[in-house]
Structure 1
Amino acid sequence: MYSTLIDIIFNSLGLRYLLNLISVFILFRFIYYHNYRKSDLFLTFFGFNSIIFFISYMLNKVEISTGAGFGLFAVFSILRYRTDGIGAKDMTYLFISIAIGLLTAIGPSDGLEMSLFCFLIVGLTFILESTLFLKKESSKIIFYDTVDFVKQDQKKELIEDLKNRTGLEIHRVTIDSIDFLKDSCTLTIYYYEN
């Protein structure tokens, strides 16, 4: 009796969508936004998530194969390759958003199991984004106004000059391009965030 009641409750559209929204809200508000301070992709993340959720939920009501469901998942995922301006981490968050939408729409009717899956996805993302296991390395592209230290044997001098100019604790540098006519170069600096 008790398990039948839980199955009925968690098979309802409203509670599945509520679990979906809570999971995605925690993911983007408290993990993504906390780490990157970007809100311009919130519409994309929530929009894709909701579209995937509703389409998957409706298709789950009709008889389709698992392969067709994953095909739909792949179609929405591939849209990322047709757009510009989304970085690798943003694309990963978009993929997680799509996965949560699909999972909550057609996942198991056991509410505890579905909640556990969502918690594991959000929890794993939190752990991987935290500094528990690795320091966070950031990079910036710098237009450097001299080519004095671009020789391989002067890397230490280059890093020290960049540290003095930027105030960042730079630990490595890559030289992207050199323009001898303008006596300048383009560098990518790598440093650990505090």
Structure 2
Amino acid sequence: MNLLVAAIADLIAISVLTFGVYYRRHFRRDLVLSYVALNVGIMAVAGMLAGGGAGIGLGMGLFGILSIIRLRSDAITQEEVAYYFVSLAMGLVNGLHPDPIWVAPAISAGLVAVLFVADHPRFAHRTRRQLVTLDRAYPQEPELRAALERTLGAEVLHLSVNELDLVRDLTIVDVRFRVAARQPVADLAGLRLPQRAVEQVR
């Protein structure tokens, strides 16, 4: 009975996570298939191991082995890596279906809720990260910061110089910045538009 309840909870949880949260925010159909397949496969293997008396130790060993697998077919973002690990964890937890019967469903619901909140579009929605190549060498950080803020039109929060080439006059920097709040339509480019034109643009 525990395994049946855990399997149903896992299918509901992975469906909500992939179709209700991930796809609606990131729109990658190929990774939806990967997450579902990974989750269901791990749940099946963990359920078989638990049924054979392998125990939690072997299950955690399986988690450790799978967690170091690199997805070489395509580049994925750090957000997508987070969904990968949660899909893996939910499959393992529900496959092991620990007692009492409500533990696995509760953990699955908690993992989905955590990702829903942590990956919400309203969280730090003005913060960006970008690798910027400047056609000038900036050995001094204050000058580099000012040049980045002029180029990006944003407040630089953190920067890390990846390459400083004084011969080729080149700077490559990894920068985190906060974009400015959206300006009213009537103030774009310093223009004062008539009210009717503003309403049409909106």
TM category (shorter chain) comes to 0.7 to 0.9
Matched, 1:64 2:54: yes
Matched, 1:177 2:163: yes
Question: Residues 64 and 37 from structure 1, CA distance in 2 versus in 1: closer, same or farther, beyond 3 angstroms?
Answer: same
Query: What is the aligned-residue RMSD (CA, Å)?
Result: 3.0
After superposition, give the CA deviation of every residue in 1:77-104 in whole Å (9 maximum; x if it has no partner): 2223888844444333212111101111
Q: Is the CA contact (8 Å cut-off) linking 2:158 and 2:175 kept in structure 1?
A: yes
DSSP-derived class of the 2:131 partner: strand
Matched, 1:143 2:133: yes
**Aligned pairs for 1:10-159 within 5 A:** 10-12=2-4, 16-80=6-70, 85-108=75-98, 111-130=101-120, 135=124, 137-147=127-137, 149-159=138-148
DSSP-derived class of the 1:185 partner: strand
Matched, 1:160 2:149: yes
- Which 5+ residue runs of structure 1 have no aligned equivalent? 1-7
Whole-Å separation in 1 of the counterparts to 2:96 and 2:119: 27
After superposition, give the CA deviation of every residue in 1:53-89 in whole Å (9 maximum; x if it has no partner): 1111122221223212222222222223888844444
Whole-Å separation in 2 of the counterparts to 1:33 and 1:81: 19
In the TM superposition, residue 41 of structure 1 has moved relative to its aligned partner by 2.4
DSSP-derived class of the 1:177 partner: strand
Question: Residues 107 and 11 from structure 1, CA distance in 2 versus in 1: closer, same or farther, beyond 3 angstroms?
Answer: closer
DSSP-derived class of the 1:138 partner: strand
Paired letter, 1:62: G
Whole-Å separation in 1 of the counterparts to 2:73 and 2:85: 14
Larger mean Cα displacement after TM superposition, 35-44 or 83-92:
83-92
Question: Residues 34 and 181 from structure 1, CA distance in 2 versus in 1: closer, same or farther, beyond 3 angstroms?
Answer: farther
Whole-Å separation in 2 of the counterparts to 1:99 and 1:151: 45
- Which 5+ residue runs of structure 2 have no aligned equivalent? 182-202
Whole-Å separation in 2 of the counterparts to 1:150 and 1:130: 38
Q: Percent of aligned positions with the same letter in both sequences?
A: 21
Whole-Å separation in 2 of the counterparts to 1:79 and 1:152: 38
DSSP-derived class of the 1:102 partner: helix
Question: Residues 122 and 152 from structure 1, CA distance in 2 versus in 1: closer, same or farther, beyond 3 angstroms?
Answer: same
After superposition, give the CA deviation of every residue in 1:104-150 in whole Å (9 maximum; x if it has no partner): 12224655443222111111222222377x62543111121223x55
- Structure-2-length-normalised TM-score: 0.71
